[in-house]
Amino acid sequence: MYHNIAPVPREIERYRSLYVSPAAFARQMGLLHRLGYRGMSMSQAMAHLRQPQQGKVVVITLDDGYVDNLESALPVLQRHGFTATCYVVSGRVGEYNRWDADKLGIRKPLMNRGQLQAWVDAGMEVGAHTRRHPHLTRCSASELHDEIHGSKHELEDLLGRPVDQFCYPYGDHDPRVVAATVEAGYTAATTTRRGRAHPARTPSLWELPRIQIARHHLLPQFAWRTLTGYEDRRR
């Protein structure tokens, strides 16, 4: 789980961990490639999530849809023949991170329609991340429908293709939110719960755990967290 693939702006004092430098991201993807892993989007990995398959697979996700994902992450992914899923806040396409800009003290640009199309044309996937990035467990029934169903429909209209993957903002979900996600027609959904997803250990495709990669993780830490059972034990 990534957010920004960019150097940390000097003005940011909080949540610096949301940034991973382009050089660090390149080293991380290069390590996976050298070790024989295939980097995949969520949709490409669904067969592996449903039942054990041959091969070493890592699913790469980026939350929110920042422009730096296209500028800095995409070239690295393409270099190794990897794909990835970028979860987009559909009501903020071409804008900025309205949900936490005041808290962070910075407006981070989000991909516009043309940039999202370039991401998709390069073989990457767009998933839904609601319309406005709210805490979903605080939403009324109508708000929940608008955020979850609405995001899917907006992105499908924007890109002219199905959007089958979903990500809960802040990892905030409960049985009611999960039920709304399933009812909306998403194939799977990711959380911020720590751990690796595996068919034998993951009870629901709509509550998939992930491993957050942060700015301060050196390459040995990245390998330890991603390729061993460390995060599974920390769940």
User: Where exactly are the structural domains of the chain?
Assistant: 4-234
Q: What are phi and psi of 109, to 5 degrees?
A: -65, 135
Low-confidence ranges of the chain (pLDDT < 70): none
Q: What are phi and psi of 111, to 5 degrees?
A: -60, 140
Q: Give the pLDDT of residue 166.
A: 98
Residue 202 to residue 209: CA distance in whole angstroms: 8
Q: For residue range 175-213, what is the model confidence (pLDDT) as tens digits?
A: 999 999 999 999 999 999 999 998 877 779 999 999 999
Q: Give the pLDDT of residue 75.
A: 98
Q: Give the pLDDT of residue 154.
A: 98
In the chain, DSSP assigns E strands to 4-5, 19-20, 37-40, 56-59, 61-64, 85-88, 125-128, 165-167, 188-194, 208-210
> Which superfamily, per CATH, for 4-234?
Glycoside hydrolase/deacetylase (3.20.20.370)
pTM of the model: 0.96
Q: Evaluate whether 205 touches 49 at the Cβ level (below 8 Å).
A: yes
How many other C-beta atoms lie within 10 A of the C-beta of residue 33? 16
